Amino acid sequence: SQQGEEDPQALSIQEGENATMNCSYKTSINNLQWYRQNSGRGLVHLILIRSNEREKHSGRLRVTLDTSKKSSSLLITASRAADTASYFCATDNQAGTALIFGKGTTLSVSS
C-alpha cells in the first residue's frame, strides 16, 4: 500500500526548540499532506505540498519534499507547549480517491 511512514514515532523537546519529523512513502504521488491531531480529536490539515514543489512554508511550519528519495520532512520552529500533538503525513491512494495516513509522530513539548 502507499502508506507514509513517519519517523521518529515519538519526539520530546523543550519549548523554543525546533522539531523535525520525517515521512517516507512508497510510490509516486500527486501531493503529500501533513495533519495534526490533538489527543482524541479530529485531524487538522496543516499543509499540502505538490509533487512539483520542493519546499513550502506556513507560519512556523516548513515542509520539504524530495520525490527522488520519496520522503518529506516537517519542521516546526520555536516550538510551544501547544504544539504537543500527533503529526501525520498522508499521500494519495493509487486510485486518487482517498488519502493513506502513516502511524504518526507523537510530539511532546515541555515548558
Partner 1 sequence: ETGVTQTPRHLVMGMTNKKSLKCEQHLGHNAMYWYKQSAKKPLELMFVYSLEERVENNSVPSRFSPECPNSSHLFLHLHTLQPEDSALYLCASSQVVRGGTDTQYFGPGTRLTVL
* Chain residues that interact with partner 1, rule: CB under 8 A: 3, 29-31, 33, 35, 40-45, 48, 50, 88, 90, 92-93, 95-104
Shortest distance, position 74 Cβ to partner 1, whole Å: 16
Task: Please say whether the beta carbons of 105 and 86 come within 8 A.
Answer: yes
Residue 42: CB partners within 8 Å, gap ≥ 6? none
Q: Is 41 or 80 the residue whose CB approaches partner 1 more closely?
A: 41
Query: Measured from the CB of residue 16, what is the shortest distance to partner 1 in angstroms?
Result: 29
CB of 48 to partner 1, least distance (A): 6
Q: Is 21 or 102 the residue whose CB approaches partner 1 more closely?
A: 102
Closer CB to partner 1, residue 43 or residue 107?
43
> Would you say 48 or 75 has its CB closer to partner 1?
48
Give the shortest CB-2-to-partner 1 separation in angstroms.
Answer: 11
Rounded to whole angstroms, what are the CA distances from 80 to 29, 92, 105, 109?
A: 32, 30, 16, 6
Alpha helices in the chain (DSSP H): none
Give phi and psi for 91, each to the nearest 5. -125, 165
Q: What span, in angstroms and rounded, lies between the C-alpha atoms of 29 and 46?
A: 18
